[in-house]
Amino acid sequence: MLLSELQNRLSSLVPRRNAILQLEDQSLESKMPQPTKTTVMVIGGAEDKVHGREILQTFFARSGGTEARIAIIPSASREPAVIGERYRAIFEEMGAKAIQILDIRERAQGEDPIWQDYLEGCTGVFMTGGDQLRLCALIADTPLMEKIRLQVQLGQIVLAGTSAGAAVMGHHMIAGGGSGESPNRSLVDMATGLGIIPEAIIDQHFHNRNRMARLLSALASHPDRIGIGIDEDTCAMFEGDGLIQVIGKGTVTIIDTSEISHTNEPFVGATDPLSLFNLRLHVLCHGDCYDRHKRTVIAGAYRSPN
C-alpha cells in the first residue's frame, strides 16, 4: 500500500511540475528581446502624389488603412503649412482615421507634451522633403524625436521620410554637395542625422541627379557604413527582419563596404580623386530585396510595364 500510494502521489506531481516549467519558460521568453515588425520607409523624393500613389498608398496601408492615425512632420520645408496640408489632403482622401500636422518651427516645440500625447495613439509618422539640416536642427535630440525613435524600435509605428526626410535616417547624413565629378572629399558635406538606421548613409534623387560619386565620397570617410542611393518615386522599405524591400518606378543602389580593402581618403587633398577597393554594388528595382544581415540580394518577381 505504501509503495502504491507513493507512486500515485508522484504521478500527481508530474503535471504540476510541467505546468511550473511552462510558466517559467513563458516568463523567460517575455523577458527576452522580441523581434519587431517595424517598417521604415525611405523614399527618394518626388513620389507619385496624383495617379497610382503606390508608395503613399503603401505607407497608408501599413499604418492601418482606414484605422490609420498619421502624424505629418513638414519641418524640413520652407513652407511647412503648405506642404503639410498637401499631404493631409492625400491621406484624408485615402480615408485615414485621424491626421495631425506637427508644424514644428522652433526646437522648443519638440518638447511640447501635446505632440507626445498625440504620438501615443499614432500608427504612422511621415517626414516631408525640404532641407535635411533644417529638419535635424529642429527635432534632433528633442523629446518628440526620442518618442518617435522608441516607437519605431518597439514596432508601434510606421515611419516614412521622403527626400530630406530620407536623408536624415542615418547617423552620418549627407547634408549637401555636388555631382558629376570623380569621388573626392569636397564633393560631399556631412552632418549628424537622426540615427533611425544608423548603419546606413542614404542619398536621394540618386540617379536622377547623378549622385553616385557623392555617395562614394561619403563612404570613403565612413567605410564602416552601407551606402544606399534611392531614385525618385522609389522607396526602400526597411523591415524589422532585416530585409530591405524595393517598391516604385526607379532603383535602389546598395554599396556594400563590408569587404573594402583600401581607400586613399586619409592621404589625399580635399579635391583629389578618391580610390576605393573591393566594394560590392547592387542595383535593385521593384520587388527586389536585400538582406542586411546576410548581405545578400533576393530577386523579385518580374513586373511587366503598364
Structural domain contains residue 44? no
What pTM was estimated for this model as a whole?
0.86
Same domain, 104 and 65: yes
**DSSP assignment, residue 209?**
G
Q: Domain ends where: 163, 193, 223? A: 163
Q: What angle is formed at CA 130 by the lines to CA 128 and CA 131, rounded to 5 degrees?
A: 125
- What does the radius of gyration of the chain's CA atoms come to, in whole angstroms? 24
Is 205 an active-site residue?
Answer: yes
- Report the distance separating Cα 29 and Cα 33, nearest Å: 8
What's the structural domain count of the chain?
2
Same domain, 157 and 104: yes
- C-alpha cell read off for 85: 496640408
Q: Which residues pair with 262 in a beta bridge?
A: 277
Residue carrying the nine cell digits 503649412: 81
Structural domain contains residue 83? yes
Structural domain contains residue 106? yes
Same domain, 232 and 139: no
- Report the distance separating Cα 116 and Cα 13, nearest Å: 51
- C-alpha cell read off for 146: 526620442
Is 111 an active-site residue?
Answer: no
Same domain, 150 and 177: no
We report the CATH number of the domain holding residue 117 as: 3.40.50.880
Structural domain contains residue 27? no
Structural domain contains residue 81? yes
- Catalytic, out of 63, 75, 77, 205: 205
Range of the domain at 57: 49-163
Question: Which helix H or strand E contains 284, and what residues bound it?
Answer: strand 280-284
- Catalytic, out of 85, 146, 181, 239: 181
Q: Domain ends where: 128, 163, 198? A: 163
- Catalytic, out of 77, 163, 217, 232: 163
Is 171 an active-site residue?
Answer: no
Each residue's pLDDT, cut to its tens digit, for the chain (306 residues) gives 444 554 455 455 444 444 433 433 443 333 333 333 569 999 999 999 999 999 999 999 999 999 999 999 999 999 999 999 999 999 999 999 999 999 999 999 999 898 889 999 999 999 999 999 999 999 999 999 999 999 999 999 999 999 999 999 999 999 999 998 999 999 999 999 999 999 999 999 999 999 999 999 999 999 999 999 999 999 999 998 899 999 999 999 999 999 999 999 999 999 999 999 999 999 999 999 999 999 999 998 765 555
Q: Domain ends where: 115, 137, 163? A: 163
Residue carrying the nine cell digits 497608408: 60
